[in-house]
């Protein structure tokens, strides 16, 4: 599903190079639920951004669903994001001007689907997260947990094979966090591969695989399933 | 001094501006262009206003004129003219009347060149010519400052197509000064030459009387000659007692029209109206320029407000943090006021250069005169004030941001 | 997708309505002011007779004072003397030639109840009508013979025909003018060239005359001449002396279809000047000019200084308005950075975002353009009120000007939107998604 080979990322600001990631080796299989933990500033977010094609790596090879990302231009990467990846963010990132229907509609528009198909998908996915009745509401009229469920519906609307979640429960109270987490587990069981960054060990433990990032290096913590191994280069 | 600068955080403001160069540059450019346009527009308005303010020398409020066009055949024009003038003069409320060949400021008239020596190849001084009788000075309401008026015996008939000039003339002070090295007193009694060779003696000098063409650079140069035109078209120039002009205009028109069916009385016009029409374009241009200045300033002002509001919105958190760390409301406000002042300074310096540049172009292309530096300074100060006024509202909004914003995140 | 972007533009403008309103007003005012001045300039510099302006030439003969050129730049005078004008006219060396001057006279209507009235007219030779493509409602002009024989014939305009003959075909009827009867040969249809190119000596935008009579009648001294008369050399009294004098007061136009015709005619003029030089006239024998309609109007600067100055000012004004819009758009688009980041994460390419924001700029431009159009119409009305009658036909929007206004607005707004849009597309999604 996802293979990273010697991926590195460094930023150069004011002539000082900062290495955010160093020679990451990682393979994720279809159907995995991978949690990513690590201290602040360890490179978790950079890792997720590269995985989600929001940033490009400085060096190394990244294959997503068999395609070499380095060979894609901006619109190729946009197409990949649109068709294969779904995003869930800590601060939900719903577009405040758009109502729930239109928010879920955003990725479908870029997908170029016809009106009937879009409507069907939007209604289906909002229904799935229990918010079909509030389709015409603006995000500001919802609670945090509800907003995050809309964000999940939006991420799933394009039927991605791969879901990236960046601290999806970070802005939620524990009860809501639990409900969002079980939603993610259901999604994973239905076949979607998930990569989730979190700082909450108890949530991380619920994933099928756990990886740990520190100082730009990746290591696999336990290996519940015999699925596959990650080699963090020390 | 350095301490003061440090206290005002100028360095800090400057560094912050450098991080948002484009936004600051856009405002500075706007201010620069506004100054450029504003200063030149005001200057053009001033030039026109000065032209319009020049006195014509006439009693404009109490004078009017009309045209008399004869179409009947076998008509004794000389007798009819004397009768008309007599009738008008006897009308109660009329102070004086004269026949005249042209109307000041009207745009149409006669001009000749006067020379101090006779000869074909000499360059004469151009002057407007008004042919009047002995009532001319009183009817026009001009002031005789030296010499004497024409006598009735001086007045001669001028046939159509004649090129003969009478031996006497009364000229304006400006014409006298132009011909006699700036000393008009020297002109009285002198003989000058019209049409290259014909001698004319200056027997009187009037304070001022403008030529028919307001855009001519010799507009103050006029001469009166004692002639009555013998022809089928003539103009009568009439002065009334104060305040009776409007009442007498239709009365005299009707009286003349009824007295004789062999002619048309037309074009009955007051001098006031002639002046308004003469300067109509100037007046209109000034109104437009004024509108441009006002609208331009408003646009620039609102632009500053809009951009400042936006930048403050984006910096809410940062401002809240500063407040939490002890900045007073006034210090926050001052920050934005000073920021605007810095940008405006850059703008007005650029704008001052632009204003001078545009003026140089206008001088070259439209023969305008060069800009006065005082105006430039006034423009600079005015725009700095506009900038400060415009930014004061957003700055006030910024100063009201609660220190709690820092901990609670965006409101 | 286009309608989707329109919807997004609408929502975005609605949210920041204050800024949007400011931008629309700024563009509207800039466009309004520019279109007002552009219209006046465009109509002032219009070609009044496009179908043959390049074949009609204004004749300038330098018969002026030997020691003082007529104008500071040494150009030949703007009119010709009676001697030179009638000589060139009678020579008939051009395909057509029209010699002319302004005149005025009193008309006495047949109906004695109606008061006599004054008309402004033109004394011109027969070629005037075919040369300038004058449209006739009834009849036609007169022929060359009528000029030579000083026939009392007259062409009147439609308004006068309405007044005297109730608008009926009046050819063959007589008009009593200046104490004589004139036979009507034709009635001119509405014709109002702007500029009034064939005689701009007393104003380039005056109305067309009400009557036209044969030029040769001017020597009968029945009606008064109007227009400018300039003299440099003293002459004797009397009308014959005036005709023989060096005073310039006539305009002469010639029609020369080809470049060769023009060269030939110029040689003819110069040869005449050389011949006159031998009699002590024409101190400068080779300073004679033939200018076609547009060259002549250009040379006479019929576009007033005020008009061009105003246009320069209003274009600078538009520039300020656009800078304003660039600033506000930049602020607005950067304010949407987080939305842009989200859209990128959800699959929008930079192209998609570029189009989305360009459409938003375009909409603001369109709204500004429409506002500008309304303001231009109001501006032109204001100009008519302020400047008076002569400008009426110069303050008229036509279809091409309307299209130009809207085009100018959209192009301006797109130009203004280009940089902010580019900046918006440079947003790094990863930075935006984590912020707050």
Q: Provide the CATH number for the domain around residue A77.
A: 3.40.50.300
CA C327 to chain centre: 38
CA distance A171 to A173: 7
Place of tokens 């009678």: C90
| pLDDT tens, position by position, A12-25 | 776 677 788 888 89
Percentage of chain B lying above the pLDDT 90 cut: 65
Question: Which residue in A45, A56, A97 has the most chain C C-beta atoms within 10 A of its own C-beta, making it the best mutation to test that interface?
Answer: A97
- Tell if the CB–CB gap between C237 and B283 is shorter than 8 Å: no
Q: Identify which has the larger pLDDT, A153 or A12.
A: A153
Residue that the structure tokens 């103009």 belong to:
B235
Q: Phi first, then psi: give them for residue C142, nearest 5 degrees.
A: -110, 175
Least Cα separation, residue C5 to chain A (angstroms): 10
Chain mean position to CA C156: 24
Task: Tell me the nearest-neighbour CA distance from B296 into chain C, angstroms.
Answer: 7
> Does C345 contact chain B (CB < 8 Å)?
no
Chains linked to A by 3 or more Cβ pairs within 8 Å: C
Q: Which residues of C touch A75 (CB under 8 A)?
A: 349-351
Tokens of C432: 């935006």
Provide the pLDDT for residue A228. 45
**Backbone phi, psi, residue B95, to 5°:** -85, -45
Judged by CB atoms closer than 8 Å, whether chains meet at A110 and C430 is answered as no
Rounded to the nearest 10 degrees, what angle do helices A100-111 and A74-84 cross at? 130
Compute the nearest-CA separation of C358 from chain A (Å).
17
| C-chain residues near A81 (CB < 8 A) | 344-347
- CB-based contact B315:B410 (threshold 8 Å): no
Quick check: B71 and C108 CB within 8 A?
yes
> Are C and B close enough to touch, i.e. 3+ CB pairs under 8 angstroms?
yes
Residue in C15, C347, C430 nearest the CB of A110:
C347
Chain A residues with CB under 8 Å of a chain C CB are 45-46, 49, 52, 54-55, 74-75, 77-79, 81-83, 87, 89-91, 93-98, 106-107, 109-112, 154, 158, 166
pLDDT at B5: 61
User: Within 13 Å of residue B314, how many CA atoms lie on the same side as its CB?
Assistant: 14
Q: Which residues of A touch C339 (CB under 8 A)?
A: 95-97
Ordered by start, the domain boundaries in chain C are 2-45+304-434, 56-299
Give residue B407's pLDDT band: very low, low, confident or very high (50, 70, 90).
low
CA distances from A224 to A182, C71, C351 (A): 19, 103, 44
Q: Which chains does B contact via 3+ CB–CB distances below 8 A?
A: C
Encode pLDDT of B32-78 as tens digits.
999 999 999 999 899 899 999 999 999 999 999 999 998 888 888 89
Inter-residue contact B405 to B319 (CB < 8 Å)? yes
* Interchain pair C347, A81: CB under 8 A: yes
Q: Do the Cβ atoms of C68 and B233 come within 8 Å?
A: no
Which pLDDT value is given to residue A234? 33
State the pLDDT at residue B245.
95
Mean pLDDT of B243-258: 94
ipTM score: 0.85
Binding-site residues on chain C for chain A (CB distance < 8 A): 1, 4, 11-12, 14-15, 338-339, 341-352, 428-430, 433-434, 436
| Mean pLDDT confidence for A194-220 | 89
Q: Classify each residue of C107-138 as buried b or exposed e, where b means 16 or more C-beta atoms within 10 Å of its C-beta.
A: bbeeeeeeebbbbebbbbbbbbbebbebebbb
Q: Which residues contact A58 (CB under 8 A, 6 or more apart)?
A: A8, A9, A10
Q: Between B41, B233, B409, which is nearest C313 by CB?
A: B41
Residue A141 lies in a domain: yes
Print pLDDT tens along chain C (436 aa): 888 899 999 988 888 888 899 999 999 999 999 989 888 888 888 899 999 999 999 999 999 988 888 888 889 999 999 999 999 999 999 999 999 999 999 999 988 888 899 999 999 999 999 999 999 999 999 999 999 999 999 999 999 999 999 999 999 999 999 889 999 999 999 898 989 999 998 888 888 999 999 999 999 888 888 888 998 888 888 889 999 999 999 999 999 999 999 999 999 999 999 999 999 899 898 899 999 999 999 998 888 888 888 888 899 999 999 999 998 998 888 888 888 989 998 989 888 999 999 999 989 988 998 899 899 999 999 988 888 877 877 888 888 888 888 888 888 878 888 889 998 888 887 777 765 4
Residue B410's CB: how many other CB atoms inside 10 A? 9
The predicted pLDDT at position C121 comes to 95
How many cross-chain Cβ pairs, B to C, lie less than 8 Å apart?
137
Which of A138-147, A166-175, B90-99: highest mean pLDDT? B90-99
Contact present, B and A (at least 3 Cβ pairs less than 8 Å): no
Residue C101 at interface with chain B, using a CB cutoff of 8 Å: no
Q: Report how far apart the first and last C-alpha atoms of chain B are (Å, whole number).
A: 39
- From A75, A106, A166, residue closest to C343, measured CB to CB: A106
Whether residue A180 lies inside any domain: the answer is yes
Contact call for C317 and B121, based on CB within 8 A: no
Nearest to A52 among C345, C349, C428 (CB): C345
**Which of B47, B32, B39, B36 has the alpha carbon at shortest distance from B285?**
B47
Is A40 a domain residue?
A: yes
CA angle C421, C425, C431 (to 5 degrees): 135
Contact list, C33 vs chain B (CB under 8 Å): 292, 295
| Two tokens, residue C115 | 């008061």
Question: How many angstroms separate the CA atoms of B99 and B231, rounded?
Answer: 12
Kind and range of the H or E run holding B65:
strand B63-70
Whether residue B161 and residue C316 make contact (CB cut-off 8 A), yes or no, is: no
Contact B44 C26 (CB under 8 A): no
Distances (CA, A) of B382 to B49, B347, B395, C318: 21, 13, 20, 21
**Would you state the pLDDT for residue A231?**
44
The reply to whether C317 touches chain B by the CB within 8 Å rule is: yes
Query: For residue A14, is it within any domain?
Result: no
Decide if pLDDT at B208 tops 70: yes
Q: pLDDT value at position B408?
A: 57
Contact B161 C237 (CB under 8 A): yes
Select the residue from A48, A106, A121, A165 to test the C interface by mutation, using most C Cβ atoms within 10 A: A106
Question: Reduced to 3 states, what is the DSSP secondary structure of residue B180?
Answer: coil
- From C22, C313, C386, residue closest to B292, measured CB to CB: C313
pLDDT of residue A224: 52
Q: Which residues of C touch A144 (CB under 8 A)?
A: none
Interchain proximity A78–C347, CB inside 8 Å: yes
Q: Nearest CA to CA, how far is C38 from chain B (Å)?
A: 15
For residue C128, is the peptide bond before it cis, meaning its omega torsion is within 30 degrees of 0?
no
Mutate to test the interface with A, among C4, C345, C428 (most CBs of A within 10 A): C345
Q: Cβ contact (<8 Å) for C346 and A82?
A: yes
Instruction: Confirm or reject contact between C29 and chain B (CB < 8 A).
Output: yes
Q: How far is A104 from chain C (nearest CA, A)?
A: 10
Query: What digits encode the pLDDT tens for the residues B75-101?
Result: 888 999 999 999 999 999 999 999 999
By Cβ distance, the residue of B22, B164, B313 closest to C330 is B22
Query: Which candidate in C73, C221, C320, C379 is best for mutational testing of the B interface (most B CBs within 10 A)?
Result: C320
Asked, for residue A224, whether it belongs to a domain, the answer is no
Give the gap in angstroms from C-alpha C85 to the nearest C-alpha of chain B: 20
Mark yes or no for CB contact C347/A54 under 8 Å. no
Taking Cα atoms as reference points, which of A117, A207, A106, A111 lies closest to residue A153?
Answer: A106
C366 alpha carbon, distance to own chain's centre = 29
Q: In this complex, do A79 and C349 lie within 8 Å of one another by their Cβ atoms?
A: yes
How does pLDDT run across A44-91, given as a tens digit for each residue? 888 888 998 888 888 899 999 888 988 988 888 899 999 999 999 888
How many Å lie between the alpha carbon of A32 and the closest alpha carbon of chain C? 22
Residue of C1, C347, C433 lying closest to A93 (CB–CB): C433
Asked whether C299 and C197 are in contact (CB, 8 A), the reply is no
Q: How confident is the model at residue B202 (pLDDT cuts 50, 70, 90)?
A: very high
Number of CB pairs, chain A paired with chain C, less than 8 A apart: 77
Q: Is C127 helix (H, G, I), strand (E, B) or coil?
A: coil
Q: For residue A231, is it within any domain?
A: no
Q: Count of domains in chain A?
A: 1
Chain C residues with CB-CB distance to B295 below 8 A: 29, 33, 317
Please enumerate in sequence order all residues whose Cβ is within 8 A of that of B109, keeping only pairs 6 or more positions apart, or say none. B101, B102, B103, B128, B129, B130, B211, B212, B213
| A54 to C12: CB separation less than 8 angstroms, yes or no | no
For residue A74, give the nearest of C12, C350, C430 by CB distance: C350
């Amino acid at each position: 599903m996802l293979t990273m080979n010697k991926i590195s990322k460094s930023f150069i600001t004011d002539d000082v190079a900062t290495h955010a990631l160093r020679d990451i080796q990682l393979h994720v299989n279809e159907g995995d639920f991978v949690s990513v933990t690590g201290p602040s500033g360890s490179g978790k977010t950079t890792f997720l951004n590269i995985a989600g094609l929001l940033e490009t790596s400085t060096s190394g090879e990244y294959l997503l669903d068999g395609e070499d990302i380095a060979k894609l231009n901006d619109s190729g990467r946009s197409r990949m994001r649109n068709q294969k990846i779904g995003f869930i963010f800590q601060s939900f990132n719903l577009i405040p001007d758009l109502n729930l229907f239109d928010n879920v509609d955003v990725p479908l528009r870029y997908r170029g689907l016809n009106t009937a198909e879009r409507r069907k998908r939007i209604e289906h996915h909002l229904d799935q997260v229990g918010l079909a009745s509030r389709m015409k509401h603006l995000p500001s009229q919802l609670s945090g947990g509800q907003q995050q469920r809309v964000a999940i519906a939006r991420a799933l609307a394009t039927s991605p094979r791969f879901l990236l979640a960046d601290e999806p429960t970070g802005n939620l109270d524990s009860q809501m966090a639990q409900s969002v987490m079980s939603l993610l587990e259901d999604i994973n069981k239905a076949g979607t591969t998930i990569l989730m960054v979190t700082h909450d060990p108890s949530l991380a433990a619920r994933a099928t695989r756990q990886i740990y990032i520190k100082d730009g290096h990746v290591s696999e913590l336990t290996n519940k399933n015999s699925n596959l191994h990650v080699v963090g280069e020390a | 001094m350095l301490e003061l600068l440090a206290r005002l955080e100028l360095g800090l403001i400057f560094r912050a501006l450098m991080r948002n160069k484009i936004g600051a540059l856009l405002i500075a450019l706007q201010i620069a262009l506004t100054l450029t346009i504003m200063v030149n527009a005001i200057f053009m308005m001033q030039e026109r206003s000065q032209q319009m303010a020049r006195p014509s020398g006439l009693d404009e409020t109490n004078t009017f004129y009309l045209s008399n066009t004869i179409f009947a055949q076998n008509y004794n024009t000389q007798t009819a003219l004397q009768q008309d003038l007599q009738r008008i003069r006897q009308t109660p409320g009329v102070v004086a009347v004269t026949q005249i060949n042209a109307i000041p400021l009207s745009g149409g008239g006669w001009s000749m060149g006067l020379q101090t020596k006779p000869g074909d190849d000499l360059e004469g001084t151009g002057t407007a010519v008004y042919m009047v009788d002995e009532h001319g000075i009183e009817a026009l309401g001009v002031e005789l400052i030296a010499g004497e008026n024409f006598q009735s015996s001086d007045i001669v008939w001028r046939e159509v197509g004649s090129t003969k000039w009478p031996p006497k003339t009364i000229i304006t002070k400006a014409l006298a000064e132009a011909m006699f090295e700036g000393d008009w007193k020297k002109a009285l009694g002198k003989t000058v030459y019209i049409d290259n060779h014909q001698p004319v003696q200056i027997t009187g000098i009037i304070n001022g009387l403008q030529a028919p063409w307001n855009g001519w650079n010799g507009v103050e140069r006029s001469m009166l000659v004692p002639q009555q035109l013998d022809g089928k078209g003539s103009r009568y120039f009439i002065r009334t007692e104060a305040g009776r002009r409007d009442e007498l205009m239709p009365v005299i028109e009707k009286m003349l029209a009824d007295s004789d069916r062999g002619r048309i009385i037309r074009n009955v016009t007051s001098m006031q109206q002639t002046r308004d029409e003469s300067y109509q374009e100037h007046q209109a241009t000034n109104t437009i320029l004024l509108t441009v200045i006002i609208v331009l300033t408003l646009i620039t002002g609102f632009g500053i407000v809009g951009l400042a509001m936006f930048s403050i919105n984006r910096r809410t958190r940062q401002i809240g943090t500063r407040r939490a760390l002890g900045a007073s409301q006034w210090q926050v406000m001052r920050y934005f006021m000073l920021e605007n002042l810095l940008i405006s300074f850059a703008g007005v310096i650029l704008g001052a250069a632009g204003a001078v540049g545009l003026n140089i172009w206008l001088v070259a292309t439209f023969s305008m005169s060069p800009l006065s530096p005082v105006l430039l300074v006034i423009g600079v100060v005015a725009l700095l004030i506009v900038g400060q006024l415009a930014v004061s509202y957003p700055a006030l909004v910024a100063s009201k941001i609660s220190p709690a914003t820092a901990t609670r995140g965006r409101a | 997708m286009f309608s989707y972007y329109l919807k997004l533009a609408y929502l975005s403008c609605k949210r920041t309505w204050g800024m949007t309103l400011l931008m629309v007003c700024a563009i509207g005012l800039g466009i309004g002011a520019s279109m007002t001045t552009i219209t006046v300039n465009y109509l002032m510099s219009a070609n009044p007779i496009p179908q043959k302006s390049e074949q009609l030439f204004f004749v300038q003969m330098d018969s002026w004072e030997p020691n003082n050129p007529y104008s500071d730049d040494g150009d030949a005078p703007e009119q010709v003397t009676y001697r030179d004008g009638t000589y060139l006219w009678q020579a008939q060396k051009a395909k057509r030639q029209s010699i002319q001057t302004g005149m005025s006279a009193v008309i006495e209507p047949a109906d004695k109840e109606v008061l006599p009235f004054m008309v402004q007219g033109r004394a011109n030779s027969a070629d005037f009508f075919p040369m300038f493509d004058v449209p006739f409602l009834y009849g036609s002009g007169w022929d060359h013979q009528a000029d030579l024989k000083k026939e009392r014939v007259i062409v009147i305009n439609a308004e006068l025909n309405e007044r005297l003959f109730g608008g009926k075909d009046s050819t063959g009827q007589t008009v009593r003018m200046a104490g004589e009867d004139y036979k009507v040969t034709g009635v001119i249809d509405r014709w109002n060239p702007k500029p009034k190119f064939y005689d701009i000596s007393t104003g380039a935008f005056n109305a067309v005359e009400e009557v036209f009579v044969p030029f040769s009648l001017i020597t009968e001294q029945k009606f008064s001449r109007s227009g400018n008369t300039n003299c440099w050399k003293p002459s004797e009294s009397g009308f014959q002396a005036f005709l023989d004098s060096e005073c310039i007061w006539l305009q002469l136009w010639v029609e020369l279809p080809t470049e060769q015709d023009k060269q030939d005619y110029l040689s003819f003029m110069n040869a005449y000047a050389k011949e006159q030089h031998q009699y002590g006239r024409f101190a400068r024998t080779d300073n004679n000019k033939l200018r076609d309609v547009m060259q002549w109007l250009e040379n006479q600067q019929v576009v007033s200084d005020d008009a061009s100055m105003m246009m320069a000012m209003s274009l600078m004004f538009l520039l300020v308005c656009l800078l304003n819009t660039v600033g506000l758009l930049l602020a607005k688009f950067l304010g949407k950075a987080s939305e842009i980041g989200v859209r990128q994460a959800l699959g929008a390419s930079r192209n998609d975002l570029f189009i989305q924001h360009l459409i938003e700029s375009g909409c603001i431009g369109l709204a500004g353009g429409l506002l500008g159009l309304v303001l231009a119409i109001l501006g032109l009305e204001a100009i008519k009120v302020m400047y008076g009658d002569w400008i009426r036909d110069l303050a008229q929007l036509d279809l091409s000007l309307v299209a130009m206004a809207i085009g100018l607005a959209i192009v301006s707004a797109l130009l203004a939107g280009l940089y902010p849009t580019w900046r918006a597309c440079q947003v790094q999604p990863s930075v935006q998604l984590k912020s707050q």
